[in-house]
Amino acid sequence: MKKYIISLIALVLCNFLIARDFHVSKQGSDQNPGTAKQPLLTIQAAADKAQAGDRIIVHEGTYREKIAPPRGGNSDSERIVYEAAKGEKVLVKGSEIIKGWEKYSGNVWKVTIPNTFFGVYNPYKEIIKGDWLVDNGRDHHTGEVYLNGKSLWELPTLDSVIKSEPKKDAFDPEGSTFTWYCESDESNTMIYANFQGANPNKELVEINVRNSCFYPPKTGINYITIKGFHMSQAATNWAAPTAEQIGLIGTFWSKGWIIEDNVISDSRCSGITLGKDRETGHNAWSKEKEKGGALFIMR
């Protein structure tokens, strides 16, 4: 019995000793081992290395990436922890900075972006859709345009962007005059934006390009902690209760997650989602007409 207890203690100590900290820094390299002196450059590189019990410490800066954790922890006491370094501001964004705007008409500027820039997911071709969505008879894209961190209003026509009048029912009528419109062909995506006198090449202009900031590739990625981040600007779609529900942060129907002390903003549709499995269908009500869930109205 004594030998068994000693062996058990040795095993617990062994697991404790092999738990590692991986550091991520904007001055790092993904070729580094991830130590404090030789940090990694991307959070995804750390996620690829982390095992149950490990901790990923992310240092100050803006990380423009979608983190897809390939694995989670084994239990509540043996998690994989993602956390911002103490006292440091860490931004994770689903957007990219866009330059090269050209004056189009009045306060409206235009930028042409090759579709290859977006990879497999182009938010300016992706329409918001799903069970019980009320779209008011017009398309809304999952993309978004931001001027110095503030989102612009998407309008249905280029002419309405050129005219851009305040909306009386808006919380911020003046802000509602900052608008955008997009169109795409087989090769390029064109975005037109009314910046109301601002020069977008001299200001910070960002657009959504990723459909999430933190989302696992499959269900069952359990026991993950996400702590202390500022996450924003994701091109999420409408997440009905019958849909997979990809949020700015989403668990994809995994268990044991802790999401705490984060600032989450500017998700096109959903901030935090629990999701559901795909095996039982995706937006099934549209096909089977079985009513349930909630109603969401786009404006």
Strands 133-134 and 296-297 turn out to be parallel
pLDDT, average across residues 172-177: 93
pLDDT digits (tens, 9 = 90+) for 256-281: 999 999 999 999 999 999 987 767 77
What is the token pair recorded at 227?
């702590």
Q: Are the C-beta atoms of residues 242 and 284 closer than 8 Å to each other?
A: yes
pLDDT at 296 over 50: no
- Indicate the residue among 159, 186, 208 that finishes a domain: 208
Q: What is the rounded average pLDDT of the residues 110-119?
A: 98
What CATH code is carried by the domain that includes residue 192? 2.60.40.1180
Instruction: List CB contacts of 5: < 8 A, sequence separation 6 or more.
Output: none
Domain with 186, as residue range(s), is: 112-208
Average pLDDT over residues 83-93: 98
pLDDT mean over 177-189: 97
Q: Are 105 and 162 in contact (CB under 8 A)?
A: yes
How much is the pLDDT for 159? 97
What are the backbone dihedrals phi and psi of residue 92, each rounded to the nearest 5 degrees, phi first? -115, 120
In this structure, are 85 and 232 located in the same domain?
yes
- Predicted pLDDT of residue 5: 52
pLDDT value of position 243: 86
Domain end residue (candidates: 177, 208, 239): 208
Q: Residue 100: inside a domain, yes or no?
A: no
* Assigned domain for 99 exists: no
250 close to 219: Cβ distance less than 8 angstroms: no
Binning pLDDT at 50, 70 and 90, where does residue 240 land? confident
Q: Is the pTM of this model over 0.75?
A: yes
How is the chain split among helix, strand and coil, in percent rounded to 5?
A: 15, 30, 55
pLDDT at 294: 42
